[in-house]
Chains A and B, each alone.
Chain A
Amino acid sequence: MQNFRGEREKGASVLAQARGIRGLSRRDFLKLGGTGIAGAAMLGVAGCGGGDTIGGQGGGEGGESIFTWGRGADTVGLDPINVTDGESLIVTRQIFDGLLDFEPGTTDVVAALATAVPEPEEDGLVYTFELREGVTFHDGEPFNAEAVVFNFDRWREEDNEFHVGGGSQTSSFSYYTSQFGGFDDESIIESVEAVDELTVRFNLTSPLGPFLRNIAMSPFGIASPAALEEDAEGFWQNPVGTGPFQFDSWDRGNEVRVTAYEDWWGTDLGEGEGGAGPFVDRIVFRSIPDNAARVAALAGGQLTAADGLTPDDVPTIEEDEALQVITRPPLNIGYLAFNTEKEPFDQLEVRQAITRAINMERIVESFFGDTAEVASNAMPPTVPFFREETEPYPYDPDEARSLLEEAGLGDGFSAQLWYMPIPRPYMPNARGVAQAMQNDLEEVGINVELVTREWGTYLDETGRGEHDMCILGWTGDNGDPDNFLNVLLSSRGATETDAQNVAYYQNPELDEILDNAAETIDEDERRELYAEAQQIIYEDAPWAPIEYAEPPLGFQANVSGYEPSPTGGEGFNSVQLDQEGA
């Protein structure tokens, strides 16, 4: 008890110190940072100062309320269909609306730009959406059936003149491919037609189980056709949608700013339907890669909210009365993928050996504490049709050694293990996890070289298969098993560039099961097929699954109305800043 009290007081005083030093300049930081002693504590505060007058509590220029969101990395692009990373989609989510959306805090589908969630017609081959009236894009252009058709045509047709954009790190419409089967003839959406001004009909080549959930995903936000016609190549830097906030500015590597869109259609809707607001005048998405620096900035009042807390930070923040912690419902997985196209990872025994050589339970406990559980399947238990019977791979170095023996690698071998340079929601400290794995693998004679790259490059190069093994993770977009298994482990995801299947695992048997499961709307049949799929993945071991995390978020105590989405992409329209005492 005594000890606990002591800890508390110490924690409070450190936070108080962090508040006291917010005025530090960058030069001071460099001086101190070099000497290394006190400088470390101030990096974050100084690193994000920049002479800006934005207050974390929401006070700003002329009484403007500003919500400053601190996160681990900057946005890659703002054309939602041409990105895959969460830091891009959390911004585009505010600027764009889809036809459908997820109910705040869940993965249940609700209407957004459509007036209602449509029922499948003709056994799931046709869906008809009625659209909201009087919606306008931020550039003043009207939203209508033609706009929806324009966007779907742009995504689907490879020879469409607007099938371009996204900048140098574009994902090349990869979300369309992964959710709807491919472009042109391979696309499950055969055509989209405007029946009248406010009615759109989708014709499918075959039924698609997760169709409505797919439509609700952030990448399928409807963009302004006029803006795309003007400059489709540059749209990723100048996005125009119908969302609650409109794009203001983007300082690359530092922050993205959006401002409230007064004519948003959702203002009069209830919060439970994804409406209400926007209440704050401006949102600043600020990137502070360093975990400790970000928390220091939150404690020091430079941020209204901080994403990517490490589990160790949770008690510190909970004990501070000026701050609060909100956890995100878990819908993610962190994993170590083996590049199955490279030797020796093409051998099953080698992959199995590694899964047994790593003490995952110990790693999860020390790096995640209570905020995660050890993973067994390739998707988290919050996703329907999760296979309960699968147990995490056992930790057994002796078996690992004999498996390596069997593979003819009794003397061990050398390989690269790539880890993410920045904290992700599914893994706040990949560097630590990687070093712990290196240690475990060393035990069984595998000599591991650790490799990392700048975040954009990391995604790019792992997406080309340049790694031997890499740590990555995935936050689900729509809560459907298809969104985990099909995206991450089917042959379709094992593309030459921008691969989502970074294990390059290609198993025709699994592909067929996943295709069948996706093409049926029968629940029992889907359950059976997905159980089989998870069993196959477990046996083939293309990954060593690490953990399912429940990512904690830190806020100033005056924030209300923030409802974290399991998908990681919540709308900020309902967020309010209580001005009292701020």
Chain B
Amino acid sequence: MDTSVAARSGWDDFRRAFLSNRLAVIGAVVMSLFILMAIFAPVLAPYDPINDQDLTSNFAGPSAQHWLGQDELGRDILSRIMYGARVSLTAGLAAVAFATTFGTLVGVTAGYAGRWIDAILMRLMDMLLAFPSILLAIVVVTILGQGLTNAMLAVGIVLLPQIARVVRSAVISVRERDYVEAERALGASHTRIVTSAILPNSLAPLIVQSTLALATAILDIAALSFLGLGAQAPTPEWGAMLTDAFRSGFGVFIEGQHAILFPGIAIALCVLSVNFIGDGLRDALDPRRK
């Protein structure tokens, strides 16, 4: 008699809500393809992304041998995009992991401790939020020095305050709930209250925010590389591929549009699908839907 009720668990609700969102499903499919491409790049890529140069056919258009054409050094653009997926995705994930870890730490501390600790931490986060994200990232990279690792770190720092803010408000909303009071009444330590009662119940907004942050991270890292501050030659990073083609001269607009177009499409598709997933997650996890 009770089984039908048990089957309508939270997970089930979530899955149904997510799958009914067509864009989110498309996003998830495209993203899975990118992830597969990144993992199996060495198997799938027809050429070496760095060393298979052919200077005599630079900017050659798409052909049977090179489906997406060749870049300014005659390298295969398809192979570079495949390897680029590795660089962009791992860099994006690393930045988000950084932001999530430290953002959660800041958010929980501020939300749980309250009073002056909250005030100080949140004013610090406000200061970071006051700068446009790409500008702040540029400043951080300028201080740390250019390179992919520092670009990841910079983007992580840029994303941190948003996560901290979301986590803090979630923590505040559950802080006074009965189950937290119960733990407290049982004499649990602060650490235990946070890890067993507060964090699990603040998870939904964190997941949504982190997913959306991944989209921003991928875009910002590509932008930094495009500006020459992130991945350096000859790393096949999407943003760097754009700038590489671009720097070889104005002629690229006439004979090598594909060298700009395809990495651009890769960035756009990837960012778009992560955004769709994020939106789908947000709708599915929204308590008001239930």
Chain A interface (Cβ within 8 Å of chain B)? Answer: 7, 10-11, 14, 30, 33-37, 40-41, 43, 290-293, 295-296, 299, 309-313, 316, 362-363, 365-367, 421, 428-429, 431-432, 434-436, 438-439, 442, 450, 452
Given A14-B254, A316-B254, A434-B233, are A35 and B249 also a contact pair (CB < 8 Å)? Answer: no
CB distance from B16 to the nearest CB of A (A): 33
Given A35-B264, A452-B232, are A316 and B55 also a contact pair (CB < 8 Å)? Answer: no
One of B186-194, B205-213, B239-247, B279-287 contacting the partner: B239-247
Given A312-B249, A312-B251, are A37 and B260 also a contact pair (CB < 8 Å)? Answer: yes
Give the residue name and chain of the B residue nearest to A295 (CB).
B250
Give the residue name and chain of the A residue nearest to B220 (CB).
A34
* Chain B contacts for A35, CB-based, 8 A: 219, 264, 267-268
* Interchain CA distance A290-B227 in the complex, whole Å: 10
8 A–B contacts from the bound complex (CB under 8 Å): A34-B220, A35-B267, A41-B253, A295-B250, A296-B250, A316-B251, A362-B55, A435-B233
A36 touches B250 (CB 8 A): no
Q: Map CB proximity to A onto B8-30 as digits: 1 under 8 Å, 0 otherwise.
A: 00000000000000000000000
Give the residue name and chain of the A residue nearest to B234 (CB).
A435
B249 touches A310 (CB 8 A): yes
B260 touches A40 (CB 8 A): yes
B53 touches A313 (CB 8 A): no
CB distance from A258 to the nearest CB of B (A): 28
A310 touches B251 (CB 8 A): yes
B233 touches A290 (CB 8 A): no
* Chain A contacts for B255, CB-based, 8 A: 7
Indicate if B263 sits at the interface (CB-CB under 8 A).
yes
A438 touches B260 (CB 8 A): no
B254 touches A7 (CB 8 A): yes
Give the residue name and chain of the B residue nearest to A452 (CB).
B232
Known: A290-B246, A292-B250, A311-B249. 8 other contacts (CB 8 A): A35-B268, A36-B267, A40-B264, A309-B249, A435-B53, A436-B55, A439-B51, A439-B53
B250 touches A33 (CB 8 A): no
* Interchain CA distance A290-B228 in the complex, whole Å: 11
B246 touches A43 (CB 8 A): yes
A366 touches B264 (CB 8 A): no
CB distance from B274 to the nearest CB of A (A): 14
B268 touches A37 (CB 8 A): yes
A36 touches B264 (CB 8 A): yes
* Interchain CA distance A297-B275 in the complex, whole Å: 35
A436 touches B53 (CB 8 A): yes
Indicate if B265 sits at the interface (CB-CB under 8 A).
yes
CB distance from A59 to the nearest CB of B (A): 24
A291 touches B249 (CB 8 A): yes
* Chain A contacts for B37, CB-based, 8 A: none
* Interchain CA distance A316-B250 in the complex, whole Å: 8
CB distance from B81 to the nearest CB of A (A): 12
Given A11-B254, A366-B55, are A40 and B247 also a contact pair (CB < 8 Å)? Answer: no
Give the residue name and chain of the B residue nearest to A428 (CB).
B249
Question: Among A36, A37, A292, A439, which residue has its beta carbon within 8 angstroms of that of B249?
Answer: A292
B226 touches A295 (CB 8 A): no
A429 touches B250 (CB 8 A): no
* Chain A contacts for B254, CB-based, 8 A: 7, 10-11, 14, 316
* Chain B contacts for A434, CB-based, 8 A: 233
Query: Ordered nearest first, which 7 A-B pairs have the shortest CB separation?
Result: A310-B249, A312-B251, A36-B264, A295-B250, A37-B264, A366-B55, A312-B249
A290 touches B247 (CB 8 A): yes
A40 touches B73 (CB 8 A): no
B239 touches A36 (CB 8 A): yes
* Interchain CA distance A435-B240 in the complex, whole Å: 14
* Chain B contacts for A428, CB-based, 8 A: 249
A40 touches B268 (CB 8 A): no
Indicate if B248 sits at the interface (CB-CB under 8 A).
yes
Give the residue name and chain of the A residue nearest to B244 (CB).
A431
* Interchain CA distance A296-B263 in the complex, whole Å: 21
List residues of B (49-66) whose CB comes within 8 Å of A's CBs.
Answer: 50-51, 53, 55-56, 58
Given A34-B134, A40-B242, A436-B55, are A292 and B252 also a contact pair (CB < 8 Å)? Answer: yes
* Chain B contacts for A442, CB-based, 8 A: 51
* Interchain CA distance A40-B260 in the complex, whole Å: 8
Indicate if B83 sits at the interface (CB-CB under 8 A).
no
* Interchain CA distance A151-B233 in the complex, whole Å: 45
Max chain A C-beta neighbours (<10 A), residue from B55, B219, B226, B244: B55
* Chain A contacts for B214, CB-based, 8 A: none
Give the residue name and chain of the B residue nearest to A312 (CB).
B251
Indicate if B238 sits at the interface (CB-CB under 8 A).
yes
Give the residue name and chain of the A residue nearest to B265 (CB).
A37
Indicate if B261 sits at the interface (CB-CB under 8 A).
yes
Give the residue name and chain of the A residue nearest to B235 (CB).
A450
* Chain B contacts for A309, CB-based, 8 A: 249
* Chain A contacts for B263, CB-based, 8 A: 36
Indicate if B223 sits at the interface (CB-CB under 8 A).
yes
* Interchain CA distance A309-B252 in the complex, whole Å: 13
Given A14-B254, A366-B58, A435-B53, are A36 and B248 also a contact pair (CB < 8 Å)? Answer: no
